[in-house]
Amino acid sequence: MFPSTMLLATDPLLSEPIGQVDLLLMSAKVLTAFAFLLVSVMLLIWFERKLISHMHQRIGPTIAGPWGILQTLADGIKLFFKEDLIPSNSDRFVFKLAPYLSLVPAFLIFTIIPFGGDFNHTSTQTDPAALGTVTWRDHATYLQIADPHVGILLFLAMSSIAVYGIMLAGWASGSKYPLLGSVRASAQMISYEAALGLSVASVVLMTGSISTHDMVAAQAGDGFAGILPNWNVLATGLVPFFVFAIAGTAELNRPPFDLVEAEQELVGGFHTEYSSIRFALFFLAEFMNTITMSAIIVTLFFGGPAGPVLIDSIIGSDIGWAWGVLWFFAKLFVFLFCFVWVRATLPRFRYDQLMNMGWKLLTPTALLWFLFLSAINIGDSQGWHRALVLAVSLPIMLLAVVLIKQAAINSSRTQEQEHTQQPLDNSP
Amino acid sequence: MIDLLAFARPPIDWHAAAPELTLLACGALLTLVDIVWLERAKAVSATLASFSLLAAMVPVVTLAVDGTDRAMFGGAYTVDDFSLVMKAVFLLTAYVVVLLSTDYIAKGDFWESEYYQMLLSAVLGMLVMTSARDLVTIFIALELLSIPAYLMATWHKVDLRSNEAGLKYYLMGVFASAVLLYGMSLLYGVSGSTMLSDINATISNSQAEGLLAVVVLGLIFVVVGFGFKVSAFPFHMWAPDAYEGAPTPVTAFLSVASKAAGFVALLSLVFVGFWDRSDVYQPLLWLLSAASMTGGNLMALRQTNAVRMLAYSGVAQAGYMLAPLAVAGESSATADDALSSVVTYLAIYAAMNLGAFAVIIAVARRTSSAEIDSYKGLFRYAPVLTVAMTVFLMALAGIPPFGGWFAKFEIVLALLSPGTAWGVVLGGVVGLNSVIALYYYARIASYMWVEAPPDNVQSSSPIKVPASVSAALILTGLVTLAFGIVPQWVGHFTDVSLL
Amino acid sequence: MMLPMMMVVWRLTPTDGSRLMVQIVFVVAAVMAVVGALGVIGSRNPVHAALFLLQTLFGVALLFLLQEAHFLAAVQFIVYAGAIAILFLFVIMLLGVDKTEDLEVEPIAHQRFLAPVLGVALASMLFSVFLVSSDILGGSPQFDSERTLDSGITDIERLGRVLFSDHAFAVEITAALLTIAVVGAVALTRSNKSKVKMTSDE
């Protein structure tokens, strides 16, 4: 076997000559994830409607199925049989392409999520690459569709592709409101990608790897003082998590960042002209993105499937990995709940507030914190005293904050003056 | 946690990098002052910029006194005589440009402190370029000096011609960058290294013979890419429009510093990177040089605008400076001659061209024009400026005792020293072109001295020249005269070697 | 320039029979890239041209993957597809040039005649160069041990080491380059100074 495969921490399944069993296992994983995403989107839409209703003192869907749980299915069937309208002013090919550009990245991001497995170092394996494996008929594999070398970068790459879906949908519709919506969307998503990427960088710095599997493995051990878990949310000092969560919400175009489809201003935003199954695809992609974003948050900051194994075997067979699945979905559910909760609580941002927050608050914060973490990291590896590192870096950070603040104040003042003085002189 | 100990930090010689670091720190300071003080920062930005340039000069001098060659990052960044001389030339050029800009930028409709930030970072790129000895550093330096230059060319935003200048310069510049990068990627592909010394070792050994075609292609693309930067014929198309439209101090900067930076890169590429492939680059540069001299001069004859004329004269001057490179590969003695002749020419060209632009800026305060006709009768109301302009024009033409003759003399000497037919012929082309060039330089001079002022120019009172422009005139005039009259005192500064 | 590069990549791609899959992926990626490049030139609608560019970028990213340059492939997606091509589209949409251009006007004289002639000349020159040299490209030159693909050092690690040792100066100076580009771009896009007299008192 190549030594590289161990170092790269690729799925052990793929490091041997690939046989039929391996193919079967891979197909099973892919199908499971695919089915899980589709079903969970259905449930999530119902969950969101029901939860928001209760927060609003309403009842929500009740008719289809027990507690209205089949409501989404009914809606989906209805959408499927509606007439598929393509505006005459549209760019037909791009118009049809756009929904898939939204949907496919949403699926692909999920491939890098480890959603199960026993990551505890106390198990028989100590090699980090062997953590979290599940063995079936001597074929060890991760509970994760793929562990590509680029790891978390795949997430960033896919979220940049997802912008195209929205942007092209708006443009191809050949109509004003969708175009406005899509221009807003692309500006918003590009702006927040900076903050998103920088907070991911903090996690990468702490892990020393960009593989999602390695990230989870690094978060598995005993944490601080033996009580708190060794999760990145604490190890990176909370700030990257909050930046990521806010930027992630903006990246999803979910409330309070849903300016893309602000009904009062833009009718339906980028998907105004879409109907029938194509509209359903956008809807699907949006909720699927919510699920994958929660899963990414869990993986990056909350240890993924890492958690205690309470009973490690039933009737002689090892079920340690199943606890991982349980912990993963428990954590995932918490974040899905939070997304709905935020939607029910916060009013929508104004566009300038959105941009100010992205560029003047989140991005500098994430960058400063990243530099701070690097300083500490270098200090530790060089054996400098921690207090000395803090004593130097904190005042510098403070200075940077003051300067950025000053620049922001100045710029808003000049902006005001520009607006008041605009009509003075229009001659060239 | 990353195992940082496994990675050894490359040793850094802070003294060697001090000029760049000083400039970088001062540029950052300028930006911060601008952010915090806003309007009040305008008053100090020019002063701050000029002091930054002088401050960066200090480590250059201490390094020169120290005199040892220093190399960092595996030889990617080298400080030697050549780089120090060129650093000094760039810093002084930029200082003169700041002097020329101070009044022009403050009075005109410009963003002021941003302008000086652009200027400083372009100079920073040039300083890096002088020390860069690998492809990546050369390319980054090229972009660092080009991007602010594109922006500065379009700094006069309300003027459509300035917009045109910036856009043309930018489009041709990025096109040249693309060609250059393609050539660099081929060279890297052949040699497996970006270090110029490694490239030279690989492309000259016998194993690479099968790849000769790729090497030739790479070399051609790299030379063509820098041909745009130094505005050599036929890659000069952007220059006249960009020079005419850009604010005049920026034009002075582009025509001197930007061109010199292209030459610096070309010199280190030819002498370090391609040295043993003289069979490839010599004919190429020979053609480029002869075409630039002849083409530039012939087109300069037809110009009616002084700035456009200087642009085409700059094309011709680039041809003179390319000439020694066309024979440089004959022997290492020839190479030393060629290198020092080009460096001498660059230094003298900087002084005389900046001087000419200083006069143009001063005269344009009265005539608001750079048309050659508007120089008629200048002697009647601005005798000092007329004398200065004559000095710079005669220096550009190569008439003794003004600096230009020494520069041309060195070039011709370097061309003749190997004694090859190609060198002699090119020397003849240089001589012929000097005669052609004399015509259009002398035409302006005769307009100034002999003709009567045109009616639309108010010629009863002398032109008020701002103190900073006067200082620039004195500085450039002194350098021009020093090189012309006592070349033995100053010539040894530019006597450098890269091999 | 696409085609000669494809030839080189084809030469460097392992071609023994057991890796049929690699060859299939290569052909797909190469066709994607070349067709995309032709589409950029050929399409009259700027948005379509941008989409073809995207296709080329994807094709090239796939080729990077085949060369086991995983990081470059990811960066190709994130930077080129995710930022640069998006900005193209953004500008096209904001400026409203989403209609076919007027092709009657010829801005530079004889452009329509010269462009194909020079293009074909350049392409044939590149082709001949690569044909002449392609015999030797199969046997790659001596690489040092760190550069071989199965040395156990990931491409990211290798890239990081090179960037922060030999090219450390270039990397650091790039910070200045980007900063100054932002400052200049903002200064140019701001409305003109004469209309905005800025004061910082009170």
Domain borders along chain A are 85-378
Contact B160, B185 (CB under 8 A): no
pLDDT for C36 beyond 90: yes
Alpha-carbon gap, residue B60 to B20, rounded angstroms: 10
Shortest distance, CA C175 to any CA of chain B (angstroms): 10
CATH number at residue C77: 1.20.120.1200
> Which chain C residue shows the shortest CA-CA distance from B216?
C129
Alpha-carbon gap, residue A354 to B249, rounded angstroms: 41
Least confident of A300-314, B154-168, B283-297: A300-314
Alpha-carbon gap, residue A140 to A122, rounded angstroms: 18
Interface test with B, best of C127, C177, C193, C194 (most B CBs within 10 A): C177
A391 vs C19 pLDDT, higher one: A391
Whether residue A305 is preceded by a cis peptide bond, meaning omega within 30 degrees of 0, is no
Torsion of CA B442, B444, B447, B450, to 10 degrees: -40
DSSP of B197-220: HHHHHHHHSGGGGGGHHHHHHHHH
Instruction: Return mean pLDDT, chain A.
Output: 80
Alpha-carbon gap, residue B14 to B5, rounded angstroms: 22
DSSP assignment, residue A128? G
Helix orientation angle between B404-416 and B467-485, rounded to the nearest 10 degrees? 40
Contact B357, B369 (CB under 8 A): no
In the chain, the amino acid numbered B113 is: S
> Which chain A residue shows the shortest CA-CA distance from C45?
A91
pLDDT of A63 reads 84
Alpha-carbon gap, residue B291 to B272, rounded angstroms: 25
Same domain flag for C81 and C12: yes
Q: How many CB pairs under 8 A join B and C?
A: 125
Strand A133-136 with B77-79, pairing: unpaired
Residue B281 parent element (H or E): helix B278-301
The residues pairing with B70 across neighbouring beta strands, listed in sequence order, are: B79
Residue with tokens 């992205």: A358
Alpha-carbon gap, residue B265 to B138, rounded angstroms: 7
Structure tokens at A35: 């089915």
Q: Does A377 touch chain B (CB under 8 A)?
A: yes
DSSP of C12-58: HS--SGGGHHHHHHHHHHHHHHHHHHHHHHH-SSHHHHHHHHHHHHH
Least confident of A99-108, B138-147, C19-28, C52-61: C19-28
Contact C76, A156 (CB under 8 A): no
3-state secondary structure of B305: strand
Structure tokens at C44: 């009259």
Residue A134 parent element (H or E): strand A133-136
> Averaged over B162-171, what is the pLDDT?
88
Domain range holding C31? 1-99+126-138
Contact B108, B157 (CB under 8 A): no
Alpha-carbon gap, residue B267 to B254, rounded angstroms: 19
Q: Does A425 touch chain C (CB under 8 A)?
A: yes
Q: Can you give the length of chain B in residues?
A: 499
Q: How far apart are the first and last CA of chain C?
A: 59
> Averaged over C102-120, what is the pLDDT?
76
Alpha-carbon gap, residue B214 to A239, rounded angstroms: 52
Cβ atoms within 10 Å, residue A424: 10
Residues of C with CB below 8 A from A212's CB? none
The distance from CA B307 to its chain's CA centroid, rounded to whole angstroms, is: 16
Q: Does B28 touch chain A (CB under 8 A)?
A: no
pLDDT of A424 reads 47
Same domain flag for C84 and C157: no
pLDDT of A425 reads 47
Whether residue B453 is preceded by a cis peptide bond, meaning omega within 30 degrees of 0, is no
* Predicted TM-score of the model (pTM): 0.87
Q: What CA–CA distances, in Å, run from A190 to A164, A178, A187, A202, C87?
A: 11, 18, 5, 19, 9
Residue with tokens 């953590």: A131
- Residue C129 is nearest to which of B117, B144, B214, comparing CB atoms? B214
Alpha-carbon gap, residue C45 to A173, rounded angstroms: 15
Question: Which residues 6+ apart lie within 8 Å of B52 measured at CB?
Answer: B22, B23, B26, B27, B29, B30, B120
Structure tokens at B64: 């020169």
* ipTM surpasses cut 0.90: no
pLDDT of A242 reads 92
Shortest distance, CA A207 to any CA of chain C (angstroms): 14
Instruction: Return mean pLDDT, chain B.
Output: 85
DSSP assignment, residue B74? G
Shortest distance, CA A326 to any CA of chain B (angstroms): 28
Helix orientation angle between A20-55 and A320-345, rounded to the nearest 10 degrees? 30
With CB atoms and an 8 Å threshold, state whether C82 touches A157.
Answer: yes
Cβ atoms within 10 Å, residue B91: 23
Give B122's pLDDT tier (boundaries 50, 70, 90): very high
With CB atoms and an 8 Å threshold, state whether C47 touches A167.
Answer: no
B127 vs C98 pLDDT, higher one: B127
Cβ atoms within 10 Å, residue B330: 18
Residues of C with CB below 8 A from A410's CB? 200
**C48 within domain boundaries:** yes
pLDDT of B127 reads 92
3-state secondary structure of A145: coil
Residues of B with CB below 8 A from A403's CB? 32, 35-36
Alpha-carbon gap, residue A189 to B165, rounded angstroms: 34
Alpha-carbon gap, residue B402 to B483, rounded angstroms: 7
Low-confidence stretches of chain A (pLDDT beneath 50): 1-9, 123, 424-428
Same domain flag for C80 and C160: no
Domains: count for chain C: 2
Same domain flag for C11 and C88: yes
Alpha-carbon gap, residue B454 to A210, rounded angstroms: 73
Structure tokens at B422: 């190609």
pLDDT for B200 beyond 60: yes
pLDDT of B331 reads 80
Strand A139-142 with A313-314, pairing: unpaired
Contact A147, A112 (CB under 8 A): yes
Q: Does C163 touch chain B (CB under 8 A)?
A: no
Alpha-carbon gap, residue C72 to B223, rounded angstroms: 28
Count helices and strands (H / E) in chain A.
Answer: 15, 4
* B53-76 residue pLDDT tens: 999 989 888 888 887 888 888 888
Strand A317-318 with B70-72, pairing: unpaired
Question: Which residues 6+ apart lie within 8 Å of C14 measured at CB?
Answer: C22
Same domain flag for C7 and C33: yes
With CB atoms and an 8 Å threshold, state whether B214 touches C133.
Answer: yes
pLDDT for C193 beyond 70: no
Same domain flag for C166 and C83: no
Shortest distance, CA C116 to any CA of chain A (angstroms): 29
pLDDT of A422 reads 52
From A116, A123, A136, select the one nearest A21 (Cα to Cα).
A136
Q: Does B36 touch chain A (CB under 8 A)?
A: yes
Torsion of CA C19, C20, C24, C27, to 10 degrees: 80
Report the neighbours of A using a cutoff of 3 or more CB pairs below 8 angstroms: B, C
Torsion of CA A339, A343, A349, A354, to 10 degrees: 10
Interface test with B, best of A211, A381, A402 (most B CBs within 10 A): A381
Give C59's pLDDT tier (boundaries 50, 70, 90): very high
Alpha-carbon gap, residue A202 to A370, rounded angstroms: 5
> Which chain C residue shows the shortest CA-CA distance from A210?
C156
> Averaged over B232-254, what is the pLDDT?
87
